Amino acid sequence: MKSLGLIVLTWVAFAWRLHGLTWQSLWRDEVDAIYFATRHLPETLAMFVQPGQNGALYFVALRPWFDLVGTSEFALRYPSAMAGVLGVLLTWQVARRLLPLAPMGDANAPGRAATSFGGASPLAWLAAVLMALNPYQLWYGQEGKMYTVITALVLLATWWWLEGIRQGGWRPWLAYLLTVSVAMYTHLLLILLFPVHFVWFWLAWPQSRWHWRGYALALAGLTLPYLPMVWWQWALLTANVKRTGFSFTPPLEMARTILYNHSRGFMPPEDLIWLIPIFFLGAAGVVLGAGEIAGRGVLSLSPWRRWAMLMSWALVPVVGIYALSLRQPIFTDRYVIWIAPALMMLVALGLVVVRRYAWIFGRVLSVGLLVYVLGFWVYAGWQQKTETTKYDLRAGVGYVAEHRTPDSLLILQIPHMEWAYRYYTSDFGPRPFAGSDARLGAWTGGLWTNQGWPDDAARLDVAQQMAMQTAGYADVWVLRSEVEMWDQRHLMDEWLDEQGELLDQADFHGVQVRHYRLHREMTAARSPSVAYSMR
């Protein structure tokens, strides 16, 4: 029964992530992932020691995969989908060790739970099913970044930690050391896993005292792979000026963002009332969940200790990233995506609480709430799959590439779209950026006008720069996206509207195409600063 259940769960999680995998265009961070993985190998390897770089091991691992299958959107996102499926199965493995379900009527009674399914706690199955259908997990399971990978790595490291505390020996601690080392180089902020497991060590006392040497040696071994990062991280944290691209987020806003996104993913906004059942179950798990956990299992720990371990998994990383942000703002919810299994376990505990305490209606109510949550998450996930939410760089680049003539100038605003243009005009082979200068043609980056100058001075500067950058070109194409990051007042657009005639335009989600014929007499000479520039 257990094997059949795992097979079905695996296929459901796999099919849900694979369906619509390439519906959305790649956004610029995903294009960056392809660029980092396929550029000259020494440049990517240098990320391991360069200040401010993150995810180096993920990009290195993508390289042989791309050599084998190419760099299509499907090829980029498929590893994330597979890591998401692995995360579902690892959630089941960790939850059945951490949260054995108490028999009905006695939370502290020894032995296997009377309501267990397939030899494992129903809590484990519930948590795994919730992970499989959660829209937030689905979103990152369909994105070409490392976030489902780090979730799976955290779960794997936690599994090894629990095995090390349970049985000791060098094998689980060596596996723990290797897994956490890989995790740190896959995402820098996995350093926050250390305090989680350190808190767990003291919560697992006195059982953990019998295996403290193995854990201590693993921690000592982890200092070695972490040393190359120390010098520049220290410089970042002690800097007196802001060095990150984030704004400071207050703790209540952090909590709201995390709870909101884990509860509904990235579906279009609707009334908060639809999330009340999910929040209710989570709150029930937090307040009364300890009473549903057995005091026996693979770890001889009391229910409150297991509950405290679960709570620390959910809270310590968030507190840690807030503490770091007091020095340098670094919060974004995806950086702590790996608390998701703990949140799913709390919701699963909430379902068991409802079943126990809702008297004769408990079973019906808990089943109804479970059906509602899963149904709502399938609906939210379906919206994510079928509504365009990522900026449609694919369509924008395709339109320009199809209609643009070789003697025209292309302006990219923001300039970073250069890599999206190079990628989407390629054959999606193992090296999509090779030879892309010819495909990109004559181009220049849009102007940066957010330096805070007065309007008159900024307009004068824009006029001078645009006259110089468009010298020799009467035919100008503009590919625009996230313009406010570069030109909040749209001064470059204003100059083009004044100096040119708009011949054509096309609007896609978050991306705009404009085609101008400039009015003024253009010189025959072309500016060397724009012809086939490489940025």
> What's the length of the chain?
535
* Three-state SS at 299: coil
What does CATH list as the number for 393-518? 3.40.50
The reported pLDDT for the residue numbered 329 is 85
Neighbours of 311 (CB within 10 A): 18
3-state helix, strand, coil in the chain (%, to 5): 65, 5, 30
Under DSSP, the state recorded for 117 is B
In whole angstroms, what is the distance from residue 147 CA to residue 153 CA? 10
Domain boundaries, the chain: 2-22+72-226+239-386, 393-518
Task: Evaluate whether 173 touches 161 at the Cβ level (below 8 Å).
Answer: no
Under DSSP, the state recorded for 327 is T
The reported pLDDT for the residue numbered 50 is 72
The reported pLDDT for the residue numbered 223 is 82
In whole angstroms, what is the distance from residue 275 CA to residue 468 CA? 54
Task: Evaluate whether 130 touches 352 at the Cβ level (below 8 Å).
Answer: no
Concatenating the DSSP letter of every residue in 243-264 gives: -SS-----HHHHHHHHHHHHHH
Pairing of strands 511-518, 500-508: antiparallel
Residue 339, preceding peptide bond in cis (omega within 30° of 0): no
Residue 67 host element (H or E):
helix 56-69
In whole angstroms, what is the distance from residue 215 CA to residue 168 CA? 9
User: In 3D, which of 488, 520, 139, 530 has the Cα closest to residue 337?
Assistant: 139
The reported pLDDT for the residue numbered 360 is 67
- Burial zone of 520 (CB within 10 Å; 0-12 exposed, 13-18 middle, 19+ buried): exposed
In whole angstroms, what is the distance from residue 98 CA to residue 92 CA? 10
Under DSSP, the state recorded for 269 is P
In whole angstroms, what is the distance from residue 293 CA to residue 301 CA? 10
The reported pLDDT for the residue numbered 46 is 84
In whole angstroms, what is the distance from residue 364 CA to residue 338 CA? 32
The region that residue 435 occupies, defined by phi over 0 for left and psi between -120 and 50 for alpha, beta otherwise, is left
The reported pLDDT for the residue numbered 110 is 40
In whole angstroms, what is the distance from residue 295 CA to residue 16 CA? 36
Q: Helix axis angle, 170-186 relative to 193-203, nearest 10°?
A: 150
Those residues with Cβ within 8 angstroms of residue 439's Cβ, 6 or more apart along the chain or in another chain: 401, 421, 422, 425, 426
* Range 205-209, long-range pairs (CB < 8 A, 24+ positions): 207/165, 207/299, 207/300, 207/301, 208/165
What string of pLDDT tens digits covers the 535 residues of the chain? 678 889 999 999 999 999 999 999 999 999 999 999 999 999 988 887 776 677 889 999 999 999 999 999 999 999 999 999 999 999 999 999 998 887 654 444 443 443 444 445 789 999 999 999 999 999 999 999 999 999 999 999 999 999 999 888 889 999 999 999 999 999 988 999 999 999 999 999 888 888 889 999 999 888 877 776 666 666 666 666 666 667 889 999 999 999 999 999 988 766 788 999 999 999 999 999 998 888 776 678 889 999 999 999 999 999 999 998 888 888 899 999 999 999 999 999 999 999 888 766 778 899 999 999 999 999 999 999 888 889 999 999 999 999 999 999 999 999 999 999 999 999 999 999 999 999 999 999 999 999 999 999 999 999 999 999 999 999 999 999 999 999 999 999 999 999 999 999 999 999 999 999 998 654 444 444 444 443 3
Those residues with Cβ within 8 angstroms of residue 171's Cβ, 6 or more apart along the chain or in another chain: none
The identity of residue 287, as a single letter, is V
User: In 3D, which of 76, 39, 44 has the Cα closest to residue 433?
Assistant: 39
In whole angstroms, what is the distance from residue 78 CA to residue 91 CA? 20
Task: Evaluate whether 132 touches 13 at the Cβ level (below 8 Å).
Answer: yes
Question: Which residues are bridge partners to 508 per DSSP?
Answer: 511
Question: Which residues are bridge partners to 514 per DSSP?
Answer: 478, 505
Residue 216 host element (H or E):
helix 212-238
User: In 3D, which of 460, 452, 451, 424 has the Cα closest to residue 440?
Assistant: 424
Q: In this structure, what are the phi and psi dihedrals at residue 435, rounded to the nearest 5 degrees?
A: 70, 15
Say what the pTM is.
0.91
Under DSSP, the state recorded for 416 is G
User: HSE on the CB side for 124, CA within 13 Å?
Assistant: 26
* Three-state SS at 144: coil
The reported pLDDT for the residue numbered 57 is 93
Q: In this structure, what are the phi and psi dihedrals at residue 180, rounded to the nearest 5 degrees?
A: -70, -35
Under DSSP, the state recorded for 490 is -
Under DSSP, the state recorded for 507 is E
Tokens of 469: 């950058």
